[in-house]
Chains A and B, each alone.
Chain A
Amino acid sequence: MNKLSLIIKREFLAKVKNKSFIVMTILSPLLMVGMMALIVFLNVKNAEEIRTISYIDESHQLESIFKDSELTKYINLEKLGFEKAKEITLESYYGFVHIPKTDNLENLSKGIAFYSEDAPNLNVIQDLERKIEHKIRDLKIEKLHFDIEKIKEAETDVAIATETFAGEKSSKMGSVLKMIAGGAFGYLIFMFIIIYGTSVMRSVIEEKTSRIIEVIISSVKPFELMLGKILGNAFAGILQFIIWIISASLLTIAISAFFGVDLMGSSPSMQASQEMVGQMQQSATSDIQAMILEIKNLPLMTLFLSFIVYFFGGYLIYSSIYAAIGAAVDSETDTQQFMMPVMLPLIIAIYVGFGVIENPHGSIAVAFSIFPLTSPIVMLMRIPFGVPWWELLLSMALLLVTFIGIVWFAAKIYRVGILMYGKKPTYKDLYKWLKY
């Protein structure tokens, strides 16, 4: 068997048989889905809680806003007086709203206070504020002798349909989808580079500290060993991601099915409003149809192909740098000084990635999607929004050139570094090694 494939096989098996790999592979999807389930569960629980809020409206102008809704009940405690009402609320209600006595509408908005045992839920306060604002506005309008009904008739809902010059229709949901698609691919590459780049580095350090390295490179070229290590780890990583995707989707389906049944059975309010559910389902199905349409509109083929190019390009560039770092040092604690400059472009790429979502064709986004150390992440985030061919080709060409340059450079450092023990190298030493 060819030596390179022997090395790849060994590195792959060494990684896959490792206990932490197995634990991570099995536990991560469980953790992820478990977290999701927990969040959903807590939200549902939170929303189901019925709050009772007491109030005293000394102005008697805003009483009409305290109408009971499904999850919030209001109790008027005016007869008890301010102090007593506060005491009672502390014992048995969620919170207490006090509206001071005033005739002036301007002053009305200023003296309102909310008392509660703990800091109140932000949604509750916002809801109250909105209701009060509306009510005061209506009161003011009334005072000016305008007809509220007519004003309401004059209001219009506007939704601007957006379309590119090429005739592609886009929508807000489309943009969200593009963000998610680009973001997901970009993050995937980011995570993969960090997790598996570090793993390549560890494996190089392990060979150095166990002193097997000289035995191995008396049989194979250092470059073959480095390449085999990088590829072996990549295959282990791809396997891990495949397992994660499959098991996470299976688990999500299983859990949502479980929760779905559970929720339907235990929530009486949902059964009560069958009609509403029906309507929601209808709008949900049309949403899903729209979403499928949008997904079809994404440049899927380009996205997929460039994902593969940028995935391998980015991973190979960074993991060979990681391999060189591993070769240069004696132990993992010595890697810090070299790690920072490697992490920097990756972190910048992720930050620029956030900006890309706001403005996919801005000059910063374009520059970083062409710069080869950040392009694997930034370009993938841009692609769903449509990228001109020349930019894509330029970016890929630069990636290829950089890839060849960096691998050459890393291989040189690697070749010398693996046989160096003792002294912690400086950047100057690394530069000297290039010339050995």
Chain B
Amino acid sequence: MNNLLEVKNISKSYGDFKALNNVSLAIPNQSIFGLLGPNGAGKTTLIRIINQIIMPDQGEVLLDGEPLKPEHISQIGYLPEERGLYKNMKVGEQALYLAQLKGMSKSEAKKRLKYWFDKFDIGSWWDKKVQELSKGMAQKVQFIVTVMHQPKLLIFDEPFSGFDPINANLIKDEILQLKDEGATVIFSTHRMESVEELCDHIALIDKSNKILDGKLDDIKREFKTNSFQVGLQSENESLLKEQLENNFKISTATFKSLENDLKLNITLNNGDTSKELLQFLNQHAQVTHFTEIIPSASDLFIKAVQNNE
């Protein structure tokens, strides 16, 4: 089985409002899949459908090739964006309760919790009430209760909110380790730098429709414009600019460099390659800087959403 989760032609409406329109996704086994989209695009609805919190109007979801069933709940771990814990309950009691609701036996849950509490070095919190914890501490507990039942599929909605950079890193490493141990992760966030760091695949949902889907690298390749950022030194900059303008599309660029050079973005004409550009540049100037412009995840996001307007 290549795909752990397959979402097939899901539609969902709330009254007159269409939250999802015929959305299909395939989430490869043991990957980190970024589910992106502007606020209100329908991500949360899709995630809730996968968690069987709400039912789709049309379409089906397959987990491991089987249509979703109530028993699958124990194979999914979900960290919602709107999350919290019972404020008056003790941390340990609460974690045990949530583990048992996921179908673990009490003794097994205790064992797993001990492992995680030791790992995060928070064993002393067991008898504390949640209201005594800071927000970051509570988030750690929340992360533990999401992953403790060793689910095949993990769904994190903005997992880093509420964490300081140190703890955010800690959680990021845990997510990567869980993936290495065999888990598949769906990761929904607005922080594009973490998408860049973590995701193998992404899908972009905007206005209830999927508008982009695939391997992050492939999409970047698709979205790149054959543009290069260059730094040039020449006796006669205006002549150089003129020559370049005659052959390529150019615009001013800003980047840091040691030299007081001419900084340009140069876009190739169709059919040209970087080799021809470099040859041209070498003939007319001294090249101090040369990089291909690869769109960032953030660029992809903005471009795709703008194209969808």
Given contacts A432-B15, A436-B15, contact A218 B73 (CB under 8 A): yes
Render A179-217 as a binary contact track against B, CB cut-off 8 A, 1 for contact.
000000000000000000000000000110011101111
Say if the beta carbon of A241 comes within 8 Å of chain B: no
Say if the beta carbon of B102 comes within 8 Å of chain A: yes
| CB contact between B83 and one of A3, A211, A219, A419 (< 8 Å): that residue | A211
Stretch in B74-82, B181-189, B226-234, B279-287 with 4+ CB within 8 Å of A? B74-82
Closest to A418 in B: B53
**Are A212 and B101 neighbours in the complex by a CB distance under 8 Å?**
no
Stretch in B85-93, B203-211, B239-247 with 4+ CB within 8 Å of A? B85-93
Say if the beta carbon of A1 comes within 8 Å of chain B: yes
Closest to A210 in B: B84
| CB contact between A218 and one of B78, B84, B89 (< 8 Å): that residue | B78
| CB contact between A14 and one of B53, B78, B86, B106 (< 8 Å): that residue | B86
A8 to chain B, nearest CB (A): 12
B127-186 interface with A by 8 A CB criterion: 142, 145
Closest to A220 in B: B101
**Are A211 and B101 neighbours in the complex by a CB distance under 8 Å?**
no
Given contacts A435-B15, A436-B14, contact A214 B98 (CB under 8 A): no
Say if the beta carbon of A6 comes within 8 Å of chain B: yes
Given contacts A1-B100, A435-B15, contact A218 B86 (CB under 8 A): no
Q: How far is it, in angstroms, between the C-alpha of A215 and the C-alpha of B101 when the chains are bound?
A: 10
**Are B88 and A14 neighbours in the complex by a CB distance under 8 Å?**
yes
B162 to chain A, nearest CB (A): 12
**Chain A residues positioned under 8 Å from B86 (CB to CB):** 14, 206-207, 210, 212
**Chain A residues positioned under 8 Å from B52 (CB to CB):** 218
**Chain B residues positioned under 8 Å from A220 (CB to CB):** 101
Say if the beta carbon of A10 comes within 8 Å of chain B: yes
Say if the beta carbon of B296 comes within 8 Å of chain A: no
Say if the beta carbon of A421 comes within 8 Å of chain B: yes
**Are B85 and A6 neighbours in the complex by a CB distance under 8 Å?**
no
Q: How far is it, in angstroms, between the C-alpha of A356 and the C-alpha of B197 when the chains are bound?
A: 74
Closest to A421 in B: B82
Say if the beta carbon of B125 comes within 8 Å of chain A: no
Closest to B89 in A: A14
Given contacts A6-B101, A10-B97, A421-B82, contact A214 B53 (CB under 8 A): yes
**Are A211 and B102 neighbours in the complex by a CB distance under 8 Å?**
no
**Chain A residues positioned under 8 Å from B53 (CB to CB):** 214, 217-218, 419
Q: Residues of A within 8 Å of B, CB-based: how many?
A: 25
Q: How far is it, in angstroms, between the C-alpha of A216 and the C-alpha of B86 when the chains are bound?
A: 11
**Chain B residues positioned under 8 Å from A3 (CB to CB):** 100-101
**Are A6 and B84 neighbours in the complex by a CB distance under 8 Å?**
no
**Are A212 and B84 neighbours in the complex by a CB distance under 8 Å?**
yes
Render B38-58 as a binary contact track against A, CB cut-off 8 A, 1 for contact.
000000000010011110000
A206 to chain B, nearest CB (A): 8
**Chain B residues positioned under 8 Å from A212 (CB to CB):** 83-86
Q: How far is it, in angstroms, between the C-alpha of A151 and the C-alpha of B89 when the chains are bound?
A: 80
Given contacts A214-B53, A432-B15, contact A219 B101 (CB under 8 A): yes
Given contacts A218-B53, A219-B73, contact A6 B83 (CB under 8 A): no
**Chain A residues positioned under 8 Å from B145 (CB to CB):** 215
**Are A215 and B80 neighbours in the complex by a CB distance under 8 Å?**
yes
**Are A214 and B80 neighbours in the complex by a CB distance under 8 Å?**
yes
**Are B76 and A218 neighbours in the complex by a CB distance under 8 Å?**
yes
Closest to B100 in A: A6
B71 to chain A, nearest CB (A): 12
**Are A214 and B82 neighbours in the complex by a CB distance under 8 Å?**
yes
**Chain A residues positioned under 8 Å from B89 (CB to CB):** 14
Closest to A19 in B: B88
**Are B87 and A210 neighbours in the complex by a CB distance under 8 Å?**
yes
Given contacts A1-B100, A6-B97, A219-B102, contact A214 B15 (CB under 8 A): no
B152 to chain A, nearest CB (A): 15
B73 to chain A, nearest CB (A): 6
**Chain A residues positioned under 8 Å from B54 (CB to CB):** 419, 436
Q: How far is it, in angstroms, between the C-alpha of A436 and the C-alpha of B53 when the chains are bound?
A: 13
**Are B80 and A218 neighbours in the complex by a CB distance under 8 Å?**
yes
**Chain B residues positioned under 8 Å from A218 (CB to CB):** 51-53, 73, 76, 78, 80
**Chain B residues positioned under 8 Å from A436 (CB to CB):** 14-15, 54
A79 to chain B, nearest CB (A): 78
**Chain B residues positioned under 8 Å from A210 (CB to CB):** 84-87
Q: How far is it, in angstroms, between the C-alpha of A211 and the C-alpha of B139 when the chains are bound?
A: 12
B206 to chain A, nearest CB (A): 22
Q: How far is it, in angstroms, between the C-alpha of A3 and the C-alpha of B97 when the chains are bound?
A: 10
**Are B73 and A215 neighbours in the complex by a CB distance under 8 Å?**
no
Closest to B130 in A: A210
Closest to A17 in B: B88
Q: How far is it, in angstroms, between the C-alpha of A419 and the C-alpha of B19 when the chains are bound?
A: 15
**Chain B residues positioned under 8 Å from A10 (CB to CB):** 97
**Chain B residues positioned under 8 Å from A207 (CB to CB):** 86
B171 to chain A, nearest CB (A): 17
Render A1-42 as a binary contact track against B, CB cut-off 8 A, 1 for contact.
101001100100010001000000000000000000000000
Closest to B12 in A: A436
**Are A215 and B98 neighbours in the complex by a CB distance under 8 Å?**
yes
Closest to B51 in A: A218
A209-249 interface with B by 8 A CB criterion: 210-212, 214-221
Return 12 A-B CB contacts under 8 Å, by A number: A6-B97, A14-B88, A14-B89, A210-B87, A215-B98, A218-B51, A219-B102, A220-B101, A419-B48, A432-B15, A436-B14, A436-B54
Given contacts A6-B101, A419-B53, 12 further A-B contacts (CB under 8 A): A3-B100, A207-B86, A211-B82, A211-B84, A214-B78, A214-B82, A214-B83, A215-B78, A215-B83, A218-B53, A218-B80, A436-B15
